[in-house]
Structure 1
C-alpha cells in the first residue's frame, strides 16, 4: 500500500499505556509506526508510562519526542493521564490511542481541545468479560461496563486490527462509517529460515510452547489442565511457558496451579528473553499453542507462522483469519479438546493451508493514509 505523497507534514500525539522499552507486539507496532512517520518528515509525540526509573522521563529521537510519566498502575493512567494529554495535544494535529486504559484520557483531552482522535481496538470482548477466568464477579462487570462506555464515545475512527475485531465493533453499535480495518503487521525480515536452521535440534521429547502475556483471555486455565491430561498420554512431552513476570499476582496463580496439578517436572518457565533468544526457543519447539478464548489479531500466531513453527489454536475470533500454514484447531474450548489437538500434533496430523502474510509496511502505510484523510476533514460540531 502506498502513502500519499507531497502532503503537508503532520504532528501526531500517541497516547499509549505502554511503549518501548516495554516489550510486546503492540509496543513494537507503535515504535515502528513512530519511526516511519518521523522518517517521512512527520513529528510524533508519545505520552506513555514510565515503567522504570531507569527509563528517561523525556527522550528526543529526531522528530520523535517521548514523554514518560509515573503512574501507580494502569488504572491511575486512566484517571490522571488527561493532564499530560492536555499539555501535549495542544500543538498536535491529531491524537491516536488504543484500548483500553489510554483511550478515555486521550478522548477527553482531544475533545476538550477540538482535536481529531483515532482509537485502535485490539479486541472487543463484550459479554465474554462475564465468563472469563482469573477475575472476580465485580471486576468482570466493571471492566465490561468500561468497555461499553468506550464503545459509545464518538472517536473519529475506530480501527479494528482484524476483520473479526471490526465486525465486533459494528455489532457493539459503533457506526459502520467510523470503523475501518488495519491489520497488525510484522517485519518478516526479522523472521528468517536462518533462525530455524540455527536452533537446537528437536529431540525425542515433544515440546509445545506458549508465549505471550499473562491474560485472562489467553486460555491458560485450559492449557494447564490439558497439559495434565496430555502428560498421561505422552509422558515424554514438555510444556514451555515463555511469559513476563507481571502481573505478579497472575504469575503466582499460574505457578500455584502448576504445583497443584503435579506439573512441576513437565513445565519449564522462561522470562525476559531477548528477541533472538525467543526465536531460538520457538524454532526448537515442535509447535506453539494458542488456546485463547478470544484474539483480536494475535502476534504470537503471526510470528510462529513466520518462523515456520506449526500452531495449535483455539480458532476463536481473529485466529481464523491469522493462522495459516500448518496448524490444528481445537474442536471446542475444553482441556480434553486441547489435549486431543496436541496428540494430533505429536503424530504430525497437521492441516495445511497457503501462508498468509501481514506486512508491517502495509500497516504503517494504512495508518499514515488515515491520518492524512482525517486531517483534511473539516471539524464537526462535536469537535469544536
Structure 2
C-alpha cells in the first residue's frame, strides 16, 4: 500500500480491542476512525478478535483486520498482544502508512518501536494513567508493580507524540516521566441525542428526585460512597452499571436504609436520557482520565458532584461530594460545554496532530520534572 499524496492520509490504527466491543476507549476509537474515513482518509485498523467477529471486514469505510483471537483473561490477552505486535511489524514491512496511531497500553511500546524502525511517524493515545492513585486502590506491592508497568509503557514508547484527554491525566504522567504529552479532549458522542429525558413516567419521577451513578461497579469508581451521600441527602440512589461490588452495594444500602435502584447496563441512548432526567450525577471516582458522564450531565444542565479528577475540575457547575446546595446549570453553561467538546472540532485537532508529525513539525521532547 502506497502513501497518499492528494491531501488525504493513509492511517494505520492499532488497538487491543475495537468495534463491536463498546467500552469507553473502543467507542472513542470507532468514532474517530469512522469520522476519518468519512473525510476521505484511508483507515486500516489492526485489533484482536473476540467471539464470532470476522478476521477481516469493511465497516463504515474502515478496513478492520483481526488476525488473532483474544479475550479478557490476562494470559490470553498477553499472548494475543504478542501476536498482534508481530503482525503489525510484518504489516509495516509490506505497507507504508502515513501515520500509525496506537492505543496504550497493551501494544504501544512494540508498535511504536516497529513504526520508528520503518521511519513511520507514530502517535500514542493514552486514555488513562493512574500514577500515584494505584496506592488508593491496591495493596502496596501490587500498587508498586502496576505503577512500574504503567510508567514503563510510557517511558519505552517511541512515538513522536502522545496525547491524553485531560490536564489532570497529563499532570499524572508528567509527575512520573519526562515524556511530552499533549492534551486533546474526548468529545461528546451523539450530541444530537442530548436533552431527551426519560419517557417512562415512573422512572422519570424517580430520577427527578434521585442522585444518579453511572459507571462500572468497581473499587476505582467508589460507588459505595454514593450510599452515604444519598443517606445524608435523604434521596434514593439510581445506579447504571454492573461490576464486582453489586452485592456490597446492596448490603450497604440495606444497612444504611437507603433506597437503591440498580438498572444494570443500559443502551447508550437510555443512559443519556437517565442522565438528562436526574437530580444530580455523582462521580466519586478515585481517578478518571476524562469522565464523559460528567461532561454529558453538564451539557444537559444536570449538576455534578464529584472529585476533582479527569476533566471534572475544568467543568462549570460541579460541586464537591457531600455539598448540600445543588447548583443550577444555565443554558449558556451547557452550550459552552457542548461547544468545547464538539466531535468535529476535537477530531480536527487530531488531524492537525497527524499532519504535524507527518511533516516533522512536532518532536517528542522531554518535559522538565
Question: Would you say the 8 A contact 1:89–1:95 is kept in 2?
Answer: no
Name the CA distance, whole Å, in 1 between partners of 2:176 and 2:259. 42
Greater shift, 274-283 or 367-376, is seen at 274-283
Task: Name the CA distance, whole Å, in 1 between partners of 2:298 and 2:229.
Answer: 26
Structure 1 position 216, deviation (Å): 4.0
- Match for residue 260 of structure 2 among 252, 256, 267: 267
In structure 2, stretches of 5+ residues that fail to align are 364-369
Which residue of structure 2 lines up, in the alignment, with residue 33 of structure 1? 32
Task: Give 1:93 deviation, angstroms.
Answer: 2.4
- Does 2:175 correspond to 1:196? no
- Alignment pair present for 1:365 and 2:348: yes
Which of residues 135, 141, 144 in structure 2 aligns to 1:141? 144
The answer to whether structure 1 residue 185 and structure 2 residue 176 are counterparts is: no
CA distance in 2, matches of 1:16, 1:161: 17
Provide the rounded CA distance (Å) in 1 between the counterparts of 2:198 and 2:228. 31
- Give unpaired runs (5+ residues) of structure 1: 1-5, 245-250, 331-339
CA distance in 1, matches of 2:197, 2:318: 17
Q: Is residue 280 of structure 1 aligned with residue 273 of structure 2?
A: yes
Higher relative contact order (CA 8 A, sep 6+): 1
Match of residue 284, structure 2, among 286, 291, 308: 291
Structure 2 Cα separation of the partners of residues 278 and 205 of structure 1: 14
Measure, in 2, the Cα distance between the counterparts of 1:204 and 1:61: 37
1:354 aligns with 2:333: yes
TM-score (norm 1): 0.78
How many residues were matched structurally? 342
Residue 311 (structure 1) shift = 1.0
Contact 1:228 / 1:263 at 8 angstroms: preserved in 2? no
CA distance in 2 between partners of 1:84 and 1:271 (Å): 37
Which position in structure 2 is the counterpart of 1:312? Answer: 305
Q: How far apart are 1:46 and its partner, in Å? A: 1.0
1:188 CA drift (Å):
5.9
* Alignment check: 8 A CA contact 2:211 2:280 kept: yes
- Structure 1 distance, partners of 2:208, 2:8, is 55
Matches for 1:103-252 after TM superposition, within 5 Å: 103-129=108-134, 131-133=135-137, 135-153=138-156, 154-176=158-180, 179-187=181-189, 189-193=191-195, 195-196=196-197, 198=199, 200=201, 201-203=204-206, 206-218=209-221, 220=222, 223-228=223-228, 230-231=230-231, 234=234, 237-244=235-242, 251-252=243-244
Asked if the contact 2:214/2:239 (under 8 Å) is kept, the reply is: yes
Distance in 1 separating the partners of 2:60 and 2:194: 30
The whole-number CA distance in structure 2 between the counterparts of 1:30 and 1:72 is 18
Partner of 2:43: 44
1:51-99 deviations in Å (ceiling 9; x for gaps): 322x222111364111223124344444432122223334122211122
Structure 2: distance between partners of 1:369 and 1:280: 34
CA RMSD of superposed structures (Å)? 3.0
